[in-house]
Chains A and B, each alone.
Chain A
């Protein structure tokens, strides 16, 4: 079967605007082959260069893209936004990965107040952007579902709402035409359960080295934690571009060093 993709992206990367037009095809037999699709252009919508937010970032990459896909007789289109940014405050690094261009200024302000490192609190609430990054590691430990998506998977098949099991995922993830697609769960979602506790310290963002940025009544600090028992999960709040996608929610858990 042949997969074809026509894409246009505009990327703001650390001060440089990069406009890319490309099209490619992949042949998936026993051997995987990929190559540019020469001579066959498709009309694609214009995309506007993203405007970087104010701030002193160590690294910032904002990408807006449109693409047409064809797998056999199935065709579909996509419009994506991705932002990756890191902010350095030695020895800490704040990491933000999200599907929109609005930067949470309050989060940046909290990071500017970081006071040092502490042992992880015994109970911790993960903010959606932290919980979403952890979801793949929680498969089999709490009830997780695949949530239906607006676009098909990498082989043109619909992404349907399903419970996530230990078995083989039904859908295929294809981040690029140059990469052999792999089976993956899409749009992971923790099914709500238990009771959240607004009084416990909150891990609001990921830091470099596997740490998290935590906030409690006593201040703002970095901590490294191991997730023990998950005590509660709230409703899905925001989709994050980790792997084939994950929905973030507030999540209460017992933590240890």
Chain B
């Protein structure tokens, strides 16, 4: 089995490029052995550099700290932007970058207070991150099932994925799409509105999922069973969440994610 990649990773700040890294390589796997070199697959390298031209123009135009990564593999070419303002980030793609950056600026203007006793309302598809940790990563680790609500459907297929030619492929989510069918929904008057997530994790030893909420700023730590029990309802179609760069074993991969507007109990 052969895996080849060419990737360029740049960091821009206020329209000025600070860092630029090119990476390419080919890995050949035979059973449990991988031989990897940084040889270039010329077609992938050309595809990567070609796609970087418009991506670079976008990064340069944004008045913020922007990381732009173009990854070309034999499965396709992927461009992602991580835009950071005031320590809060979104992850986006070329077709959504304008709207997502505007949403980030809008969210930064909101500083709601938080109260751990109130239910949580997960806006902008952010419930996808909660499920990414509690459902998707748990599946990667073959965690035993917990009782999710019947109205919730989560599509989070796993496939062998790797960040670079020198990495061991791991079973990772290709995407996470959460949807609802006939879910109950009532918007609580007293609530905490979750807008953006900073990061998270799942620990297979303790079965605890952690979600660091960026806006408003607080951290959730709960077992999968507690999270499943907390799900009160949802409404509407799945909303694309701008930003899941998933890191496992040091390998960072983009996982497109979406979830409907969702309500959970206090977590």
Residues of A within 8 A of B (CB): 13-24, 31-36, 38, 58-59, 88, 90-93, 178, 180, 208
The reply to whether the CB of B142 lies closer than 8 angstroms to some CB of chain A is: no
Q: Given that A16-B32, A31-B17, A31-B19 are known contacts, is A92 also in contact with B205, CB under 8 Å in the complex?
A: yes
* B residues in contact with A92, CB < 8 Å: 205
Contact assessment for B168 and A32 in the assembled complex, using a CB-CB cutoff below 8 Å: no
The reply to whether the CB of B182 lies closer than 8 angstroms to some CB of chain A is: no
Contact assessment for B168 and A16 in the assembled complex, using a CB-CB cutoff below 8 Å: yes
Q: List 15 A-B contacts (CB under 8 A).
A: A17-B32, A18-B33, A18-B166, A18-B168, A19-B33, A22-B25, A23-B38, A34-B22, A35-B21, A36-B23, A58-B205, A90-B205, A90-B206, A91-B205, A178-B21
Look across to chain B and name the residue whose beta carbon is closest to the beta carbon of A18. B34
CA of A20 to CA of B167 in the docked complex: distance in angstroms? 9
Q: Given that A16-B32, A18-B168 are known contacts, is A31 also in contact with B206, CB under 8 Å in the complex?
A: no
* B residues in contact with A58, CB < 8 Å: 205
Look across to chain B and name the residue whose beta carbon is closest to the beta carbon of A22. B38
Distance in angstroms from A91 CB to nearest chain B CB is 5
Contact assessment for B24 and A36 in the assembled complex, using a CB-CB cutoff below 8 Å: yes
Contact assessment for B34 and A38 in the assembled complex, using a CB-CB cutoff below 8 Å: no
Distance in angstroms from A182 CB to nearest chain B CB is 13
The reply to whether the CB of B20 lies closer than 8 angstroms to some CB of chain A is: yes
CA of A13 to CA of B248 in the docked complex: distance in angstroms? 14
* B residues in contact with A178, CB < 8 Å: 21, 23
CA of A93 to CA of B207 in the docked complex: distance in angstroms? 13
Contact assessment for A33 and B20 in the assembled complex, using a CB-CB cutoff below 8 Å: yes
The 6 closest A-B pairs by CB, nearest first: A22-B38, A35-B22, A36-B38, A32-B19, A18-B34, A20-B166
Contact assessment for B34 and A208 in the assembled complex, using a CB-CB cutoff below 8 Å: no
* A residues in contact with B32, CB < 8 Å: 15-17
Contact assessment for A24 and B205 in the assembled complex, using a CB-CB cutoff below 8 Å: no
Q: Given that A15-B32, A58-B205, A90-B205 are known contacts, is A22 also in contact with B37, CB under 8 Å in the complex?
A: yes
The reply to whether the CB of B40 lies closer than 8 angstroms to some CB of chain A is: yes
Instruction: Choose from A17, A32, A34, A180 the contact partner of B34 (Cβ within 8 Å).
Output: A17
B183-206 contact mask (Cβ, 8 Å, vs A): 1 or 0:
000000000000000000001111
* B residues in contact with A22, CB < 8 Å: 25, 36-38, 166
* B residues in contact with A20, CB < 8 Å: 36-37, 166
Instruction: Choose from A21, A35, A208 the contact partner of B205 (Cβ within 8 Å).
Output: A208
* B residues in contact with A21, CB < 8 Å: 36-38
Contact assessment for A180 and B38 in the assembled complex, using a CB-CB cutoff below 8 Å: no
Contact assessment for A16 and B34 in the assembled complex, using a CB-CB cutoff below 8 Å: yes
CA of A99 to CA of B161 in the docked complex: distance in angstroms? 29
Contact assessment for A19 and B35 in the assembled complex, using a CB-CB cutoff below 8 Å: yes
The reply to whether the CB of B146 lies closer than 8 angstroms to some CB of chain A is: no
CA of A24 to CA of B23 in the docked complex: distance in angstroms? 9
* B residues in contact with A34, CB < 8 Å: 20-22
Distance in angstroms from B201 CB to nearest chain A CB is 11
Additional A-B contact list (8), CB under 8 Å, known A16-B168, A34-B21: A13-B168, A18-B34, A18-B166, A22-B25, A31-B20, A36-B23, A36-B38, A208-B205
Look across to chain B and name the residue whose beta carbon is closest to the beta carbon of A35. B22
CA of A174 to CA of B34 in the docked complex: distance in angstroms? 26
* A residues in contact with B21, CB < 8 Å: 33-35, 178
The reply to whether the CB of B18 lies closer than 8 angstroms to some CB of chain A is: yes
Contact assessment for A208 and B203 in the assembled complex, using a CB-CB cutoff below 8 Å: yes
Look across to chain A and name the residue whose beta carbon is closest to the beta carbon of B29. A16
Interface residues of B in 202-246 (CB under 8 A from A): 203-206
Look across to chain B and name the residue whose beta carbon is closest to the beta carbon of A58. B205
Candidate in B20, B23, B36, B205 with the most chain A CB atoms within 10 angstroms: B205
* B residues in contact with A35, CB < 8 Å: 21-22
Distance in angstroms from A118 CB to nearest chain B CB is 18
Distance in angstroms from B204 CB to nearest chain A CB is 8
Look across to chain A and name the residue whose beta carbon is closest to the beta carbon of B22. A35
CA of A71 to CA of B166 in the docked complex: distance in angstroms? 24
CA of A168 to CA of B21 in the docked complex: distance in angstroms? 27
Look across to chain B and name the residue whose beta carbon is closest to the beta carbon of A36. B38
Candidate in A36, A59, A90, A91 with the most chain B CB atoms within 10 angstroms: A36
CA of A248 to CA of B40 in the docked complex: distance in angstroms? 42
Contact assessment for B20 and A38 in the assembled complex, using a CB-CB cutoff below 8 Å: no
Contact assessment for A33 and B19 in the assembled complex, using a CB-CB cutoff below 8 Å: yes
Instruction: Choose from B20, B35, B40, B206 the contact partner of A32 (Cβ within 8 Å).
Output: B20
Distance in angstroms from A4 CB to nearest chain B CB is 13
Distance in angstroms from A89 CB to nearest chain B CB is 8
* A residues in contact with B18, CB < 8 Å: 31-32
* A residues in contact with B36, CB < 8 Å: 18-22
* B residues in contact with A38, CB < 8 Å: 40
Look across to chain A and name the residue whose beta carbon is closest to the beta carbon of B25. A22
